[in-house]
Amino acid sequence: MEIPLSFELLRVIWWALLGVLLIGFAITDGFDLGVAGLLPFVARTDAERRLAINTVGPTWEGNQVWLILGGGAIFAAWPLVYAVSFSSFYLAMFVVLASLILRPVAFKYRSKREDPRWRRFWDWALFTGGFVPALIFGVAVGNVLVGAPFRMNDDMRIFWDGSFFGLLNPFALLCGLLSVTMLFLHGAAWLSMKTEYGVVRDRARAYAPIFAFASIVLFALAGAWVAFGDLGYQVTNTVAADGPSNPRFTETVREGGAWLSNYGRYPWMVIAPVLGFGGAALALFGLRSNSEALTFIGSKLSVVGIISTVGVSMFPFILPSSVDPNASLTVWNASSSHMTLFVMLIVTAVLLPIVLAYTAWAFKVMWGRVTTEAIAKGDYY
C-alpha cells in the first residue's frame, strides 16, 4: 500500500500532535490542579471550600482524558520514548499517579461526613493532588531539557544511571516552580471567573498577580539558564528524516545554549516564548481592568507559550541523554513505522474532533458561576 504522506511529514505531524495533547491537558486539567492547590488559601470555611471545589467538580474527570491521550500517543507514536521515560521516571510517575488518585477519592469522600477534621484531611489531600503533580510535571520537563541519565548498548537495551533524588537538580526544581506558578495562575483565573462575587473570588484575584509575576520571572530565569548554562544538544551528522528508527544512527554532542539555536534557523518559533511572557502579562492586564475573560485567556496563552517553548527549542530532540548523547531520542530516530503513524493519524482525525466537540458541549452545559445558595440546595461535593 502506498502511503500518501511521507515518513518525514508524519513524524513532524505526530511531534506537533503530541505537543497539542500535552497542552490540551495543561489547559484543561491545569486549572483543576491550580484550584486544588489554592484550596487552603482562597477558602477558609467549609462553605467557601465547597464553593471552590464545585467549580471543577463537574469537569475534572473529562479533563483528564487529555493526559490519557498524551500517554497513549507517546506509547503508539514514540515507543522508544515511552520505554525510556515510563521506566526511567517510574518512581516520579508513581508519586504523580498517587497524588492524582487522591483527587477523586477526596471528591467522593469529603462530604460523606460533617466532621471538620474529616473534611480538613480531604481538603489537604486535594491540595496534595494539585500541588505535587504540578511540581513533578515541571521537574520532569526540566530533566528533559537537562538530559536524562540513560544509555543504550549495541542491542538497544536501555540502562538507567540515575536516581529519583538525582532528578531534583537545581534547574529541574526551577522548572517545577515555574509549572506550579503557571498552573496556580490558571487556577486563580478560573476561580475568579467561576465563583460568585465574594471572598473566594476576591482572594483568588489577590493571589493571581503574584503567580503571574512569578511566572514571568521564573520563565525569564529558565531562559537565561538555558542561554548561559551548559544546556542543549546538537546533532552533528546528517540524519535521514525518513530513515529507520534507530538512535545509533544519530551522532549527538552536548553544547551549552544549543536549545536557542532553533530561533535563528526558524525565526517564527519566537512566537512561543512571546506567548509565554505575553499571556502572563495579559492576565495581569485583565486583573487590573477587572476583565475575567482577559485574565483567563491570558493564563491559557501563557500555558500554551511556556510549554510550546520547550518543544520548539528542543526540536528535533524529544528525550536527550546526558550520559550518552548518541543514545538521545529524536523525532527522526524514535518513532513508530511509517504505516503505524499513518493509520494513527486517520484514527485521530476522526476521533479528536469528537473529543473536542464533546468537551466544548460539556463546558457550555455546565457554564455559569457557582454559588453558595445552589450548593446548599443541590447535590454537590
Please count the structural domains in the chain.
1
Q: What gap in Å lies between CA 218 and CA 78, rounded to an integer?
A: 30
Residue at 68 is within a domain: yes
| Domain span including residue 269 | 7-377
Nearest one of 126, 226, 130, 127 to 175, comparing CA atoms: 226
Per the omega criterion (within 30 degrees of 0), is the bond before 316 cis? yes
In a domain, 356, yes or no: yes
- Structural domain includes residue 149: yes
Given this model, what pLDDT does residue 379 score? 64
State the Cα–Cα distance between residues 31 and 195, nearest whole angstrom. 14
- Phi, psi for residue 375 in degrees, rounded to 5: -65, -40
Neighbours of 90 (CB within 10 A): 12
Predicted confidence at residue 1, as pLDDT, reads 65
The answer to whether residue 245 sits within a structural domain is yes
Per-residue pLDDT at 253 = 84
Taking the chain (381 residues) in consecutive chunks of 10 residues, what is each chunk's mean pLDDT?
Answer: 87 94 92 94 91 88 86 91 84 89 88 88 93 94 92 84 83 96 96 92 95 97 92 88 85 87 93 96 95 95 97 94 90 92 94 89 87 77 72
Q: Is residue 2 part of a domain?
A: no
Within-domain flag for 1 = no
Q: What is the model's pLDDT at position 242?
A: 85
Burial class (CB within 10 angstroms; exposed 0-12, middle 13-18, buried 19+) of 264 = exposed
- Per-residue pLDDT at 110: 87
128 lies in a domain? Answer: yes
Report how far residue 316's alpha carbon sits from residue 318's, in angstroms, rounded to the nearest whole number.
7
